[in-house]
Amino acid sequence: MDALKAKIRDIPDFPKPGIVFKDLTPLIRDPLALRLASEELVKPFLNADITVVAGMEARGFIFGSLAARELDVGFVPLRKPGKLPYQVEALSYDLEYGSAALEIHIDGVDSGDRVLLVDDLIATGGTAQASCRLIEKLGATLVGCAFVVELDFLRGREKLGGYRVHSLIHY
């Protein structure tokens, strides 16, 4: 995965002081890195009977759609409140300071679905945990979560205790 790591750029103090933002745009811009990331994201789930991939706004849309293509399934977006046009199921969750919410169309997944959740990066795991719960709220089975980057020191994986978690690059 060194080839992928070489395409990730650190941006200190973005979006606020003290945060080192992992900028994946050079990886997305590179055809070989993009292909490798797409293939590796889904590798553990090739025989897991995934029926749909879900991804969170906004970078989860990029990698989630590519993962869906790899698995030959469709993609369902999880969005910030007020963005989805049809009826939604919503879930609020706590952040370090304040709270956030995610929404999914009520017909995005159903009880017959086996879902792979994809995002670019897992930090504290709050976003992914809320996403898993939202998908389960609609009755679907959450099979696993796949991330390009995992910030190990923030222990987000612990919030996803019951699920299979797959990350390509660790910091």
Q: Mind telling me the catalytic residues? A: 59, 96
**Rounded to the nearest whole angstrom, what is the least distance from the CB of residue 58 to ligand AMP in the complex?**
8
Beta bridge partner(s), residue 100: 93
Q: Pairing relation of β-strands 9-12 and 20-23?
A: antiparallel
**Rounded to the nearest whole angstrom, what is the least distance from the CB of residue 94 to ligand AMP in the complex?**
10
Assigned token pair, 164: 């299979």
Q: Which of residues 90-129 bind ligand AMP (CB under 6 A)?
A: 119-128
Q: What is the dihedral of CA 124, 140, 73, 149, to 10 degrees?
A: 10
Among residues 27, 52, 54, 56, the one that binds ligand AMP under rule CB under 6 A:
56
Question: How big is the CA angle at 67 (ends 104 and 96), to the nearest 5 degrees?
Answer: 50
* b/e 108-118 (16+ beta carbons within 10 angstroms → b): bbeeebbbbbb
Among residues 21, 105, 114, 136, the one that binds ligand AMP under rule CB under 6 A:
21
**Rounded to the nearest whole angstrom, what is the least distance from the CB of residue 119 to ligand AMP in the complex?**
5
CB atoms within 10 A of CB 10: 10
**Rounded to the nearest whole angstrom, what is the least distance from the CB of residue 154 to ligand AMP in the complex?**
7
Cα(110)–Cα(25) distance, integer angstroms: 33
Nearer to ligand AMP, 77 or 125 (CB): 125
Question: Which stretch, 17-25, 39-47, 103-111, 136-144, contacts ligand AMP (CB under 6 A)?
Answer: 17-25
Among residues 7, 8, 22, 55, the one that binds ligand AMP under rule CB under 6 A:
22
Are 76 and 54 in contact by the 8 Å Cβ rule? The answer is: yes
Nearer to ligand AMP, 13 or 49 (CB): 13
For ligand AMP, the binding residues (CB under 6 A) are 19-22, 56, 59, 119-128, 156
